[in-house]
Amino acid sequence: MSEDRARLRSLLGAGTALWAGSGNIRVEQGCWTALSGAPSADYNVCLYHGEAASPEISQKIEEIVAAAVPTVIMLAGAALSDAQTLVDAGWVCVGAVPFMANALSARAVRDEPDAGAARRLTLAELGSARELVEAAFGVAPEIAAGVALPDSAASTPGQSVWGMHDADGTLVSCVAMIDVEDAIVTWSMSTPPAERRHGYGRRLLNAALDDAALRGVRLALHYSSYVGLPFYRALGFEELEHWQLWSRPRWVLGRA
């Protein structure tokens, strides 16, 4: 994919507004930070990719420690060479995630997407979607409701929560999405273990991506766990690079 890599990283950073809130994110040249304030390192995240004029990583570490919430710093691009600074500050590498993009402009979209039982969820339906997030990711109810799928995700222009229902009308899969310029960023793709391997997630995300493409969205962006790689690859996502994950041991013991 020939897109400007630094721009795509920044677009995903802007998309964290869905769960962190627009007032809790900062997107700078070479760095973005999203601190929801939740007691979970999954929802306090910084990507440092080391472009010119970006803040020094030692300054960023000080800012995050001062925020006093469990946080993950991700390194990408030129900033991978700054890993030793994190080591010296007592941070540890806890893994990596693939950064992925899907060129929706090249997508063979149906004139009338076969949404079937996949559709946007209303605010009143978010409770069921949050239960899926809890089951899929093992998060506490207050994290699912207050951060992963806040009310604003279903009521703010440019944001949406999509759901897939089975033949009985039971919600079995959900995903949250946010428009950022000419892209869309996906979050909280959730299908509980008992409902997997039935094609629910595939049908759901295909319907949501078809809808985005018909609206003129050019790209879908996502960072995935390695477990989810085959799923996203099958839907047309391409791995652009891999982001290292760093955190403080006391924040991630029992998590990684």
228 and 121 share one domain:
yes
CA 256 – CA 140 distance, rounded (Å): 17
119 and 200, same domain (yes or no): yes
The helix or strand, by DSSP H or E, that contains position 248, with its residue range, turns out to be none
Q: Identify whether residues 199 and 247 lie together within a single domain.
A: no
pLDDT for residue 256: 44
Contacts of 242 (CB under 8 A, 6+ apart): 76, 96, 97, 98, 99
What is the pTM (predicted TM-score) of this model? 0.92
Helix (H, G, I), strand (E, B) or coil at 254: coil
Task: Return the CATH number at 125.
Answer: 3.40.630.30
Give how many domains the chain has, as a whole number: 2
Longest dimension (CA), the chain: 55
Q: Specify the pLDDT at position 60.
A: 86
- Which of the four pLDDT bands, split at 50, 70 and 90, describes residue 149? very high
Instruction: Clarify whether residues 58 and 114 are in a common domain.
Output: no
Note whether 110 and 236 are same-domain residues: yes
Structure tokens at 88: 């010296």
pLDDT of the residue at 181: 97
Q: Are residues 236 and 247 in the same domain?
A: no
Q: How would you class 200 by CB atoms within 10 Å of its CB: exposed for 0-12, middle for 13-18, buried for 19 or more?
A: buried
Which residues span the domain enclosing 229? 104-240
For residue 100, is pLDDT > 90? yes
Q: Is the pLDDT score of 255 beyond 50?
A: yes
- Residues with Cβ within 8 Å of 7's Cβ and at least 6 positions away in sequence, in order, are none
Query: At 39, is the pLDDT very low, low, confident or very high (cuts 50, 70, 90)?
Result: very high
pLDDT value of position 116: 61
Say whether both 85 and 140 belong to one domain: no
Do 42 and 108 lie in a common domain?
Answer: no
Write the pLDDT tens digit of every residue in 51-64.
654 668 888 899 89
Are residue 214 and residue 225 in the same domain, yes or no?
yes
Average pLDDT of the segment spanning 175-182: 98
pLDDT number for residue 176: 98
pLDDT given for residue 54 in this prediction: 60
Question: 113 and 88 in one domain?
Answer: no
Same domain, yes or no, for 80 and 139? Answer: no
| % of residues, the chain, pLDDT over 90 | 77
Q: Which CA distances in Å does 74 have to 6, 88, 97, 143, 243?
A: 14, 16, 9, 21, 6
- For residue range 101-123, what is the model confidence (pLDDT) as tens digits? 999 987 766 555 455 679 999 99
254: confidence class by pLDDT, cuts 50, 70, 90:
low
Are residues 238 and 99 in contact, defined by beta-carbon separation less than 8 angstroms? no
186 & 207 share domain: yes
Q: What angle do CA 98, 72, 58 make, to 5 degrees?
A: 110
